[in-house]
Structure formats: C-alpha cells, structure tokens
Amino acid sequence: MEGNGIEHRIVRANGINIHLAEKGEGPIILFLHGFPEFWYSWRHQLHAFASLGYRAVAPDLRGYGDSDAPADVNSYTCFHVVGDLIGVLDAIGAGKVFVVGHDWGALIGWYLCLFRPDRVKALVNLSVAFLPRDAMNKPVDTFRAFYGDEYYICRFQEPRAIETEFVEIGIDKVLKYSFTSIPAAPFYLPKGKALREQIDIPITLPSWLSEDELKCYVTQYEKTGFIGGLNYYKNLDLNWELTAPWTRSKVEVPAKFIVGNLDLTYNTPILKENMNFNVMKKHVPLLEDVVVMKGVGHFVQVEKADEINQLIHDFFQKF
C-alpha cells in the first residue's frame, strides 16, 4: 500500500502494539489521523515532508489500522492515546517533535500539548479547534441539547448500534459517502435510516480521491471495522470527567489552525465559535494564525495537499 519509500514497523508503546508508517530523515513530524481514517490519510504529507528534509511519522492510533484495538471501550480516553504517543516518541528516540493533527487527531494533538508541552516544538491542527473545557456541562449533553438525539455524535454513544448499521449498509458505501458527501452543516444519522437514502445516489469520486485510494481505506476497514474509531466518541464524557484538573488551562505551544469553509465543523455553530482567532488565542496564547480555506471540505490534507503542505512547512520553518 503506497510504497515509494514509506517504511512500516510495529513499536511497543503504553502496553500495546502501534503501527507506524514513516519516511525521511531529519526533524520529526508526528502526523495524527482522524475518523474514519488511518495512517494512509497522510500519504501525501509523508512523501512531501521527507523530500523537505523531515522524518515524517504517521501512526495508526489505537483501534485503527494495524495497531492494537483493546476490547474495553474505556481504554480509548485521551490519556490512553496521549500515553501511546509518548510511548511512540520514546520508542523512536524522539525528544521534542512537530505535530500535525486532523479531526480526532487534532483533538488528541491539543491534549498532547496540554499534557506534555515539553514534547512538542509546534503544532498545526486541521478541522477541529481547541475546545476549552466547560466546567458545568458534559460535551455529549451539550451536543444533544443543541442538535438532538440524532446528531451523529449522540448516535455514536449507543453501544454497537451505529457500528451494526454501518456494516449492514456496507463498509465501502459508508466510506465513500464519508469522504465525498458529508454536508457542510450539522450532521445527522437518524436511527434505522442512517445514510440509507443517500447511499443509493450515485457518487462520482472527486479528483483528490481515486478508486484505488478509496479501496485502500475499504480494505483496511473490512479488516478492523469501525468499533475502535467510534470508541473515541464514546469517551467524550469520560474525557471531560478526567480532565477536570485542566479546567481553564492553556495550550502553551506555538500553534496554527487550518479549516475548510465547507467542513462540517466550520458549519456547526458550537464548534465554529471556537475557530475565531481572538477566541482561540485566549486559550492558545502562542496561536499564530487561523486559516480558512475556501471551497475545501473536511479532509483538507488530501483535498488540497500541496497548499496544506506549504502552510505547514512555512510554519515549522520558524522553529
């Protein structure tokens, strides 16, 4: 899968096996993927940054790809995943590294900087802004109050329910829809009807995603299913409970944030308000910039790979 010098290996980190895809020599950039993805979403970045003199490392986060997937749903908290990443850095002999995160990888990137700023030189996050902890309200309750029980994050809380629906619909159809057709708006998955109306509509793949590339995702998810990735959502409230000591803490790491104006996160009000530069800078005082890319959806690192690579490179060159 996507050769051209990309090396693969398994490291032992935080008591589990973590798969790494990596390329290049030089300062390390740790690329953190989201859902429904795995290391492969950083294929363009691995090649580009290796050619620019970096060592680009993209792990499969726990529960994804060829990394271990613990059976206990409560083994997917932010502390478990950040612990995995510290273990990875130790295993590859890394001190402080650059970090790039997307979607859930961005959320984990914020947590990594919050918990272990001593291991991060600078951060570029895509799609998911820093969300300061609301001391009074659990996140799932907040989403439910704003958007109701059929909002996708609320549906993802139900044990095995959405996983079963996705398998019944077909992994290939779910992934094809996820990459190409998620609306630029709050996203809903009605119980028993999730995606069933949309999947019968023919989808033409965009120029940034070939049939072979889509097949790589499908092949991987046919092996793993969606359970591991969905467990991250099931721990949103537990993360909230566990991070109480970090209430009002700031991210003290140089950072840049990038989002597409067609991203569902940018078009979900309770998420978008945190993407305002002045709002985010209150919580991320070393924030350099918020970049909103026009005509770009959720998967910015593949939709506009060259532009994203340039933005990341320009920022990291300062350190």
Question: Active-site residue among 103, 111, 151, 263?
Answer: 103
Residues in Cβ contact with 3 at an 8 Å cutoff, skipping those fewer than 6 apart: none
Q: What is the pairing mode between strands 28-32 and 97-102?
A: parallel
Active site residue 134: no
Given the residues 233, 263, 266, 283, select the one marked as catalytic.
Answer: 233
DSSP category for residue 188: B
Taking a C-beta distance cutoff of 8 angstroms, is the pair 233, 267 a contact? Answer: no
Q: In what order do the strands lie in the sheet with 16-23?
A: 7-13, 16-23, 55-59, 28-32, 97-102, 120-126, 255-260, 287-293
C-beta separation of 234 from 157 below 8 A:
yes
Catalytic residue among 19, 33, 283, 298: 298
Tokens representing 266 are 């940018």
Active site residue 306: no
Annotated catalytic residue 233: yes
Cα separation, 27 vs 7, in Å, equals: 17
Active site residues: 103, 233, 298
